[in-house]
Every structure is written in structure tokens, then in C-alpha cells.
């Protein structure tokens, strides 16, 4: 039986500012660093031992993984990064203040964009290499995506498209490790992890809308040889 642990990154700079983040590469806030460290302390206290780690190519997820593994005494665990584990791309909403977006387009419309399974947000016309907010410039599409076909770089995503993007990596890498009996930890993002949870738990399109994963709160699955869920635990505060 293999264990799978999912950790949503700690609070990011833009989470703290109530901004749509998506693929824009922001760092953890001070609160986010503490949340990541606390996740590692919980894993250490529970005695988890990992064989493989996965994360996205976004800084807030990578540093969350490193802080958590450091606290768990397992920073040496093999690690692989993939753009397929990135957060959902929020299209033209990236960098927008969520409250201001609600004033501009209406709270109901913004809620639909944020929470619906298959409704796309306003799309970008082309990939933006960087985004500037409050006088600070953040990278978006840069050389970390040099090996990704241009047609696969999103201009906006919903959860359905995010799941379609994540699943090939699950099938090619993660599921094979789990079937081999390896214990796996994934540090990623609210929506890429919700996509995995939907797949793992076979959650309906409607019910996944009510699933929320808190920052820095590990979700622990025991999976059988066919990757069916035997047990699930959330390491809440």
C-alpha cells in the first residue's frame, strides 16, 4: 500500500493581496513560509517517509516543498518539477484584485469564473512574459517553458482544462511510482491539486466545486495496488 500526500503551497504574496495568481511566478509571504514549515512538522510528527517528491515549476510550490521536506528531515528525497502541476491559468484575470474584479464584472460572474468546472475565464490574446502589479514585475511565461510546445501554453483555463493538463503527468509519472509501492508527496496549487483529488476520489463535476484545499494543509491518502482510496486524512491544525 502506498501513501500519497498533497500539499497546497503556503500563502503567496498575491494570496495576501487578494489577487488572481495563476501562472504568474510569485513568492511565499511570511505567513506562507510558516504554513509550509508547519506542514513539514505535521508530516514529521506523523512519521511519514517519502520515496519521491513532485512539484510545479512555480516558486511558491517549490519552496513549500523544500520547507516541508526540510522540517520532515527529508530534503534529500528525489524531486521532479513539471509545468503540468502548475496552478490553473486565470487568463486575463491574472494580477486582478478579486474584489475589484467583482465590482467590474459582477460578483456572480466572477464566482462562476472562479468555481465552475467548465466555464473559462476571460482569455489572454497572447502569452504575457511578465505581469506588473503595484510597481513590481513578476515573471509569467519565460525560459522554464522552453520545451513546452507553444500550442500547449494556456491563455486561460478552467478546472476541466487543468485536469486534462495534469492527467498525462499523473499517468506517466506519479501513478507508476504509487503502483510500485513508493510513498509520494506533491506540493502544488489549489486547482491542480483539486484536479488530482477529483480524479483520485472520482468526484463528480458538480461536487468538486465544493472541495477546497487550505494552504499548507497536507491531505494524506492510503492507496491500494489499483490506486483506489483505502483511507484519507487531512492534517488540519
How many angstroms separate the CA atoms of 146 and 142, rounded?
Answer: 7
Look-up of cell digits 520515496: 51
What separation in angstroms does the CA of 22 have from each of 5, 30, 156, 190?
A: 22, 20, 9, 10
Within 8 A by CB and 6+ apart from 56, the residues are 62, 81, 82, 83, 85, 86, 87, 187, 188, 189, 192
Q: Of 71, 87, 89, 189, which one is the catalytic site residue?
A: 87
Nearest to 160 by CA among 204, 123, 128: 204
Give catalytic status of residue 87 as yes or no. Answer: yes
Q: Give the residue numbers marked as catalytic.
A: 9, 87
Amino acid at each position: 500500500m502506498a501513501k500519497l500526500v498533497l500539499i497546497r503551497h503556503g500563502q503567496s504574496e498575491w494570496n495576501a493581496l487578494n489577487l488572481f495568481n495563476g501562472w504568474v511566478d510569485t513568492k511565499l509571504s511570511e505567513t506562507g513560509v510558516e504554513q509550509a514549515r508547519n506542514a513539514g512538522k505535521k508530516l514529521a510528527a506523523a512519521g511519514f517517509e517519502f520515496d519521491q517528491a513532485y512539484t510545479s515549476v512555480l516558486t511558491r510550490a517549490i519552496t513549500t516543498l523544500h520547507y516541508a521536506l526540510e522540517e520532515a528531515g527529508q530534503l534529500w528525497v528525489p524531486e521532479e518539477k513539471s509545468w503540468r502541476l502548475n496552478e490553473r491559468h486565470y487568463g486575463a484575470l491574472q494580477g486582478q484584485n478579486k474584489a475589484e474584479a467583482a465590482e467590474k464584472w459582477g460578483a456572480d460572474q466572477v464566482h462562476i469564473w472562479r468555481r465552475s468546472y467548465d466555464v473559462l475565464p476571460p482569455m489572454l490574446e497572447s502569452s504575457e512574459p511578465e505581469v506588473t502589479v503595484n510597481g513590481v514585475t513578476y515573471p509569467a511565461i519565460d525560459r522554464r517553458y522552453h520545451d513546452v510546445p507553444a500550442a500547449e501554453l494556456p491563455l486561460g483555463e478552467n478546472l476541466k482544462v487543468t485536469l486534462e493538463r495534469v492527467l498525462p503527468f499523473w499517468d506517466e509519472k506519479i501513478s507508476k511510482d504509487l503502483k510500485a509501492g513508493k510513498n509520494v508527496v506533491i506540493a502544488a496549487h489549489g486547482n491542480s491539486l483539486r484536479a488530482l483529488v477529483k480524479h483520485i476520489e472520482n468526484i463528480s463535476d458538480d461536487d468538486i466545486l465544493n472541495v477546497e484545499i487550505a494552504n499548507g494543509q497536507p491531505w494524506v491518502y492510503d492507496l491500494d495496488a489499483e490506486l483506489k482510496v483505502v483511507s484519507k486524512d487531512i492534517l488540519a491544525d
